[in-house]
Chain A
Amino acid sequence: MAKRIKPRGILPGFGLTMGYTLVYLCLIVFIPLSLLFLKAASLSPGQWWEIISNPRVLAAFRLSFAAALLAGVINTVFGLLVGWVLTRYSFPGKRLVDGLVDLPFALPTAVAGIVLTAVYAPGGWIGRYLEALGVQVAFAPIGVVVALTFIGIPFVVRTVQPVLLDLEKQVEEVSATLGANRWQTFRRVIFPQLLPALITGFALAFARGLGEYGSVVFISGNMPMSTEIVPLLIMTKLEQYDYAGATAIAAVMLIASFLMLLVINFLQWRSNKLHRLG
């Protein structure tokens, strides 16, 4: 094993790109983010606990996590369904539908927020039917779930689609020759292969939902203790110039997001490493 032959190859630009990348990364991302942790660390544990254990803050955390979780689950189920239908079947307008799945990525969240409110508010396009059923979506916790579901649609669909495309047809055929019916083939042969992608998609949707602001603030009604999400609470603290409070809450959010990021990276690394034939 020759170890020290051209470790970087003959292509020029290593110093330039490395320098530029690191400087820019530090200026735009790394320094500002570390500052937040420095600021949070300047609080004493007592102060910190006082801010976090405030009932209003706890209620916001509970709502943010629960709504993001529920929206993530909804998106996992329907994302799998949409991904399946788009890769396996053909129907009129399929390409259009496939293209529009990415709309939540492209549509500014403020627009999503006001239009979801208009549609789901009592008397709105869909809200009026829900109202007749006695369900209030807008200005209620369900509204938060609706907004986060909208935001999260592309994640599961787009992580599960390539895996569905890559599945070997022969594996399903062999399952049929061994006597499995279609449902058994799905449950025992197809689904386990989709599971890593589903979990990744769920985690992405969940992480995005946790931090989402624009689409939620319009539909939720922003009532403290009831429909107030964490990012809004941070915003409120900032408007009251309570920088310490905003920072403490933000630090907790950030740590939660970073843990999610770690989990997602680990899952992707594992599914890449494991079960790869040849």
Chain B
Amino acid sequence: MSDDYAVVPIRRTASAIAEPAAVRWLLIGAAIAFLALFLFVPLIAVFAEAFQKGWTAYVSALREPDAWAAIKLTLLTAGIAVPLNTAFGVAAAWLIAKYRFRGKNLLITLIDLPFAVSPVISGLVFVLLFGSQGVLGPWLAQYDFKIIFAVPGIVLATLFVTFPFVARELIPVMQALGSEEEEAAMSLGARGWQTFFRVTLPNVKWGLLYGIILCNARAMGEFGAVSVVSGHIRGLTNTVPLYVEILYNEYNFTAAFAAASLLAVLALVTLAAKSLVEWKAARNESTYNLAGGE
């Protein structure tokens, strides 16, 4: 062909649907600045404040007997609430994903309800039920059984607040998977529980784990609802978040931030676990697709 058009390397023009570099960096800068003001600086500040008076002050703040009691109560509460809500989440997800029945959408909405309720109101409903002026209050007083301003109330409020987490993560995962594999297992002679443990559970394990992680984070960190029902009795009905509040209101900032830093570490571990689970789930899916796709 014509010699006028020799092979000439040309300047790489940007792709047809990309923004100019200047615009790109401006947007990135604005996004980072926003997140820095509202997320990054506060996150760093938690640890900076906690270690303001040095390592020894930090450690001694956490070795207070009240701090220990709060940590133990938080672990106990999560230890009860998470397994119960996990069992519920699995049952509800199985029900919703595997069967067709009337009122399913209503059921899903009801499961989501606690998310729409203010934490303070979540505590309030249990006060109305079990408090001294509550519906069951006089009856409980007769048997000298305390729920409000005691550990059972804290557990109940936590159960309510963390109610939807596992179900909510699991339902879409199970719905997407359908019932074919379970039906195949049943046709091969597996019994119900065998089918569940050997077919369903391995398929949904990452979604389940994710739900449990989120449920646990909220159970350990819940403040408003627990605050309403706890009565703030030191060493008895204080969870770690409530203990943080008390120290803070006593102007014992270093100790407050020391306890808060424990919760912040928990939050970071939660986020890391979440990323890991998401990464695992994505990898599983892609290998699954590779195997099934070709």
Interface residues of A (CB under 8 A from B): 7-14, 16-18, 20-21, 24-25, 28-33, 35-36, 39, 78, 81-82, 84-86, 89, 91, 95, 97, 99-116, 118-119, 125-126, 146, 149-150, 153, 169, 172-173, 176, 182, 185, 207, 210-214, 218, 230-232, 234-235, 238, 241, 243, 246-247, 250, 253-254, 257-258, 260-261, 265
Contact = CB atoms under 8 A, between A and B. Distances in A.
B109 interface: yes
Contacts of B61: none
A114 B248 contact: yes
B83 interface: no
Interface residues of B, number: 94
A21 B88 contact: yes
Contacts of B31: 78, 81-82, 84-86
A110 B43 contact: no
Nearest to B162: A28
A103 B260 contact: no
A81 B30 contact: yes
Interface string B70-103: 0000000000000000011001101100111100
B121 A234 contact: yes
Contacts of B126: 32
Contacts of A108: 220-223, 240-241, 263, 266-267
Given A108-B263, A150-B39, A29 B118 contact: no
Contact of A250 (B40, B107, B121): B121
Nearest to A214: B223
Nearest to B222: A108
A150 B159 contact: no
Nearest to B16: A176
Question: Of A32, A84, A111, A185, which is in contact with the most chain B CB atoms at under 10 Å from its CB?
Answer: A111
A210 B116 CA distance: 10
Given A12-B192, A111-B46, A111-B263, A28 B159 contact: yes
Nearest to A8: B99
B179 A111 contact: no
Contacts of B207: none
Given A111-B241, A119-B41, A126-B41, A89 B160 contact: no
A21 B248 contact: no
A81 B27 contact: yes
A14 to B, nearest CB: 5
A238 B232 CA distance: 14
Contacts of A230: 118
Given A21-B107, A82-B34, A100-B40, A7 B118 contact: no
Contacts of A243: 127-128, 131, 133
Question: Of A102, A104, A247, which is in contact with the most chain B CB atoms at under 10 Å from its CB?
Answer: A102
Contact of A21 (B95, B244, B270): B95
Contacts of B154: none
Interface stretch (B1-9, B271-279, B281-289): B271-279
A126 B33 CA distance: 13
Contact of B39 (A110, A153, A169, A232): A153
B62 to A, nearest CB: 15
Contact of A107 (B88, B221, B228): B221
B27 A85 contact: yes
Given A84-B27, A107-B264, A211-B121, A29 B91 contact: no
26 contacts: A13-B192, A13-B196, A17-B92, A20-B88, A24-B88, A25-B88, A28-B160, A29-B163, A31-B129, A39-B128, A78-B34, A100-B43, A104-B39, A108-B222, A111-B46, A111-B260, A115-B45, A118-B45, A150-B39, A213-B224, A214-B227, A218-B248, A238-B124, A238-B127, A243-B128, A254-B117
Contact of B186 (A10, A109, A218): A10
A243 B271 CA distance: 38
A96 to B, nearest CB: 9
B34 A33 contact: no
Contacts of A111: 46, 221, 241, 244, 260, 263-264, 267
A70 to B, nearest CB: 14
Contact of B49 (A24, A105, A118, A261): A118
Question: Of A105, A110, A126, A207, which is in contact with the most chain B CB atoms at under 10 Å from its CB?
Answer: A110
Given A9-B99, A105-B214, A108-B241, A33 B133 contact: no
B35 A265 contact: no
Interface in B104-135: 107, 109-114, 116-121, 124-129, 131, 133, 135
